């Protein structure tokens, strides 16, 4: 009764329960009141664990996640629902949910909203809260592991990059991964590039919305002044920023500094290579993305022998099988590219 009264009280559902106005449910007060109604019902709180356990044993669900990978007894549902309330309230405050569900907004609206300054801290907190949720911190790894198993069983990722590029194939390795922290690290750095790399936001929007040829040829030659930027021209114009985002702090010679001597993780300036998932996928990333990008930046007239040799060293196991080595080798690679660009 309390739950129905809460829904009717928001105005989202009329007294006859015949119509629903989703937009009226997408408010902090509506979500919080609904969660409080759930946690305030002894019957509902007894049913929730049973319903969740049953749901995770349905064929539709078990094809994606093994319920044995989740310890349902470790979940306090009163606390979990409060955690979910905090997450949903944060999402609502960003306005992105309203854009998607009510306004049916396109990428041209959603992408800028994701990287607006006023939303950055909120989104970061939402991502970190994943690790604080006993339910989400178990379900997300279990789902991803199931998808990785399927991908490996099918012969590996199509096109060379997929989930198994970045994620372990052994379940026990998932215990040490903090997915919320990993996602926040990547989000923060993409946010920095999106807002500080001149021209990048234009290229991303054009690529994702398919409004220009950039979608078909992202690595074409740099545009002349006054023309629409390409990914290549953006990298050329913001080369030092891209190096910092990937490697972290570097000295005047481009050598990585201020890294933990054991883990190789940046002490001051966080970088993409500090991500365990990205570090795991580096061999495939180098071959499928980094090499074609750098060669396109250098141009067809550049003798790429030294660059290709370095990249082959990454992938044959003689170089860069740990984060510290990759940072050192990438520094050498970017030094070559930077010198070529300056000339």
User: Which of residues 262 and 6 earns the better pLDDT score?
Assistant: 262
- Rg over alpha carbons for the chain, rounded to the nearest Å, is 24
Distance CA 273, CA 257 (A): 13
Cα gap 140→63, rounded to integer Å: 14
* DSSP result, 157-197: -GGG-SHHHHS-SSGGGGGG--HHHHHHHHHHHHHHHHHHS
Strand partners, 311: none
Place of tokens 């539709």: 60
> What is the residue-averaged pLDDT of the chain?
83
pLDDT band, residue 78 (cuts 50/70/90):
very high
What would the pLDDT profile of 156-175 be if each residue is shown by its tens digit? 887 678 898 889 889 998 98
Q: In whole angstroms, what is the distance from residue 298 CA to residue 208 CA?
A: 25
Q: Where are the alpha helices (DSSP H) in 115-154?
A: 117-132, 136-153
CB atoms within 10 A of CB 148: 22
pLDDT in tens, 172-189: 989 889 999 999 999 999
Write down the residue that tokens 């198994």 correspond to. 164
pLDDT tens per residue across span 275-318:
988 888 877 777 777 777 777 877 777 777 777 776 666 555 44
Distance, in Å, from the CA atom of 326 to the CA atom of 247, rounded to the nearest integer, reads 9
Distance CA 182, CA 130 (A): 10
Q: Lowest mean pLDDT of 17-26, 205-214, 302-311, 314-323, name the range.
A: 314-323
């Amino acid at each position: 009764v309390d739950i129905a009264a809460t829904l009717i009280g928001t105005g989202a559902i009329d007294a006859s329960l015949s119509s629903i106005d989703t937009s009226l449910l997408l408010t902090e007060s509506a979500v919080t009141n609904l969660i409080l109604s759930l946690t305030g019902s002894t019957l509902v709180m007894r049913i929730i664990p049973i319903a969740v356990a049953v749901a995770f044993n349905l064929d539709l669900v078990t094809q994606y996640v093994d319920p044995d990978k989740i310890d349902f007894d470790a979940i306090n549902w009163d606390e979990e629902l409060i955690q979910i309330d905090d997450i949903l309230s944060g999402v609502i405050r960003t306005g992105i949910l309203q854009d998607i569900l009510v306004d049916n907004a396109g990428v041209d609206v959603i992408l800028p909203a994701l990287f607006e300054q006023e939303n950055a801290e909120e989104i970061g907190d939402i991502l970190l809260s994943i690790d604080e949720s006993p339910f989400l911190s178990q379900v997300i790894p279990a789902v991803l592991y199931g998808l990785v198993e399927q991908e490996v069983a099918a012969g590996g990722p199509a096109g060379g990059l997929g989930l198994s590029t970045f994620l372990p194939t052994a379940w026990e390795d998932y215990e040490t991964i903090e997915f919320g922290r990993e996602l926040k690290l990547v989000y923060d750095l993409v946010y920095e590039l999106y807002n500080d790399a001149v021209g990048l936001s234009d290229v991303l929007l054009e690529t994702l919305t398919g409004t220009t040829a950039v979608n078909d040829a992202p690595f074409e030659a740099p545009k002349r002044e006054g023309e629409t930027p390409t990914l290549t021209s953006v990298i050329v114009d913001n080369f030092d920023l891209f190096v910092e985002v990937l490697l972290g702090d570097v000295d005047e010679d481009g050598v990585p500094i201020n890294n933990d001597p054991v883990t190789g993780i940046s002490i001051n300036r966080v970088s993409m290579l500090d991500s365990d998932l990205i570090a795991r996928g580096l061999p495939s990333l180098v071959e499928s993305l980094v090499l074609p990008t750098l060669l396109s930046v250098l141009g067809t007239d550049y003798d790429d022998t030294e660059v290709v040799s370095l990249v082959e060293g990454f992938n044959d196991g003689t170089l860069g099988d740990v984060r510290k080595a990759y940072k050192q080798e990438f520094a050498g690679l970017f030094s070559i590219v930077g010198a070529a660009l300056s000339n």
